[in-house]
Structure 1
Amino acid sequence: MGEFWPVPDVLRYLAGSWRVTRSVRDLASGDAGRFEGTTVFSPLDDEGGPGGSGGLRHQEHGTFVWQGVARPAERTLRFLPGPTRGTADVRFADGRPFHDLDLTSGRHVTDHPCAADLYRGEFTVRDADHWRSLWRVGGPAKNLVLTTDYAREG
């Protein structure tokens, strides 16, 4: 893999609208799917009292095709300021912890245990307008690889 592009402030970098393409491969069955859509990172004005939290709301909308069937898909996450400058604490929409995110080196690896399965995420930044997340999911219920490419819009 090539060079990584360091990001001194992940929340500032992510703010705005991104075109999203995600491939999903089930390593057990061989099935593959694809999501295409948009992710918008907008200010979380309703968090943390007056002036907001300084965090971002991640809203993803698009179409997921699995086994030839297209369905609308969406998800919402919250990206809050992390424990050190320039990092983020990523949470599900309901506030449950998801993972940490530190792109100051341009690359970050993190884990998220989910019941008996383990999600291992690798985040890489190519440049000012392109980044990728790669999640490997393993355990008794899942054996998946999810690769998401983000390209800044506008």
Structure 2
Amino acid sequence: MTTGDGFWPVPDVLAYLAGRWHVERTVRDLAGGDEGRFTGNTDFSALPGGGLLHEESGTFTWRGVSRPAGRTLRFLPGAAAGTADVRFADGRPFHDLDLAVGRHVADHPCAADLYRGEFTVRDQDRWRTVWRVGGPAKELLLVTDYRRDG
């Protein structure tokens, strides 16, 4: 059931994310005007000791050139029940994630740039992230739609 704001509350982030998701992402360079697209899949599989391994793979097209692309993250149990502590593959902190109300905003400083992510859950099979990156090195908008596969 969605909230009055149209968000789908998620009492347990890790249980919700587990499985395979189809991914569609647009990447816009707000300074230069270029736009790219990523299409692929994300698998959230169980980690020994708890949490999920996030493995994304697909094709990224930028300026007419398509290349294989991917990334790996670790979604570990968060400090509060039902939340997650998201980390890069090497263990460095990325952001927290709490979808109890179906929406969450997280910041990640990266050198002089700031990544601000908004996570929204639409229903049991669809969620979205919007990352706005701003600073001296980058001005980007990344919008990713996830749809449960299967």
TM-score, normalization: structure 2?
Answer: 0.97
Partner of 2:115: 119
Query: Once superposed, what is the RMSD of the aligned Cα atoms?
Result: 1.0
Letter in 1 for 2:141: V
Residue of structure 2 aligned with 1:106, choices 97, 102, 109: 102
What does 1:89-100 align with in structure 2 at a 5 Å threshold?
Answer: 89-100=85-96
The size of the alignment, in residue pairs, is: 147
Supply the distance in 2 between the matched residues of 1:134 and 1:34 (Cα, whole angstroms): 14
Shift of 1:28: 0.2
Residue 12 of structure 1 aligns to a residue whose secondary structure is helix
Partner of 1:48: none
TM-score, normalization: structure 1?
Answer: 0.94
Residue of structure 2 aligned with 1:4, choices 7, 10, 24: 7
Extract structure 1 runs of 4+ deviating beyond 3 A.
none
Supply the distance in 2 between the matched residues of 1:127 and 1:74 (Cα, whole angstroms): 25
Structure 1: any 5+ residue segments left out of the alignment? 46-51
Residue of structure 2 aligned with 1:68, choices 61, 64, 67: 64
Structure 2: any 5+ residue segments left out of the alignment? none
Residue of structure 2 aligned with 1:26, choices 23, 26, 29: 29
Supply the distance in 2 between the matched residues of 1:70 and 1:44 (Cα, whole angstroms): 31
